[in-house]
Structure formats: C-alpha cells, structure tokens
Amino acid sequence: MHNTGADGRPAAGEHSGVDHEFLALERELAVFLRRARASSGELARAVHPDLESAAYGLLMRLADAGQQRATDLAGYFGVGKATMSRQLRALEDLGLVAREPDPADGRAVLVRLTDEGRARFTRVRDGRRAQYARRLAAWDRKEVAELARLLHRLNGEQPPEEV
C-alpha cells in the first residue's frame, strides 16, 4: 500500500502502480550506460587518438566474430547502412580494418581487422580486462559469471552453446 498526500497523489518518493525493482533497474542502467559511454571514448582513443567512441564496439565485434559484411554489422548494432559505412571508412582510413571481396558472393565485401587493428585493439582490451579484474576482485567468480549471463540475456542474444 502506498502513502498518499492530501491531493490523493502518491506521497513524495512514492510512485503509485510503479514497480520499484524496475525503477531501481532503470536508475542503475542509466548510471552504467553513462559510464560505459565515457569509457568507450577513452578506450577508442587508446586504440587510436582519432577514433570515435562507437568504433571500439565495432572493433570488438570484428575481433570476436571475425570478418563480416557491413550489412551484418549494421544489423548487429542496430544502425543504418550509411552510418556503418561511415564508421568503417574511418577505421579503414586509420589502417585498422580492411575490406575484401566475399568469396561466397562476388558482389559482397567482407570487413576484417588488419594486423595493426588487431594488435592495437588487443592491447587496449587486455588493459580493460585487467581493470575489470581489479574492480571485481572481491566478487566470487560465480557472481561475475552470473552478471555476464544476465547482461547477455538482457542484450537479447541467444546463450552461447555449452562447451
């Protein structure tokens, strides 16, 4: 039961009919996302001083999934083809990615990390993982795994196959 003020509306700090767990989730995700955006900018600049913030995630996807078509990358990130094309062109100009014909379809092009791109990305990613390890050192490994599983689920992806 919620407390109400003289006007019948919820008292200060109360939200009639609102699930407090979802309010807490919204608040924590907002903080997390704000910090993640700032961190992405720092990580991108660590890979290359001229790199845009969004490019770090793109490099991560190519490192994790291997070469892909630009349209598949655009779909994965939920951006338009023009946006993806612009981001890839910038990465290509910096020598971090290369485009090559898709052997399965001569009309299509695959994007891949260059050796330089992979080396720069790996150096920054290793540093980021070390930061996570330090920040979560007091956490049980099962808690870290559970957080990763829940975030994966929140991202709407299928769980990875058990090995």
86-103 pLDDT per residue, tens:
999 999 999 999 999 988
Partnered with residue 68 across adjacent β-strands are 111
Q: Is the pLDDT of residue 112 over 50?
A: yes
The per-residue pLDDT for range 116-145, each reduced to its tens digit, is: 999 999 999 999 999 999 999 999 999 999
Supply the pLDDT for residue 107: 85
Supply the pLDDT for residue 16: 58
What are the phi and psi torsion angles at 126 (to 5°)?
A: -60, -40
Partnered with residue 99 across adjacent β-strands are 111
Tokens encoding 40: 């992405």
Supply the pLDDT for residue 12: 52
Q: Are 56 and 91 in contact (CB under 8 A)?
A: no
The per-residue pLDDT for range 8-51, each reduced to its tens digit, is: 555 555 555 678 898 998 999 999 889 888 888 888 999 999 99
CA–CA distance, 70 with 75 (Å, rounded to integer): 9
Going along the chain from its start, the domains and CATH numbers come out as 20-150 (1.10.10.10)
In percent, the amount of the chain with pLDDT more than 70 equals 85
**How far is C-alpha 121 from the chain's CA centre?**
14
**In terms of C-beta density within 10 A (0-12 exposed, 13-18 middle, 19 or more buried), how is residue 34 classed?**
exposed
* Cα distances (angstroms) measured from residue 45 to each of 21, 24, 71, 121: 36, 32, 25, 11
Q: Is the pLDDT of residue 155 over 90?
A: no
CA–CA distance, 56 with 121 (Å, rounded to integer): 8
Q: Could you tell me which of 91, 80, 82 has the C-alpha nearest to residue 57?
A: 91
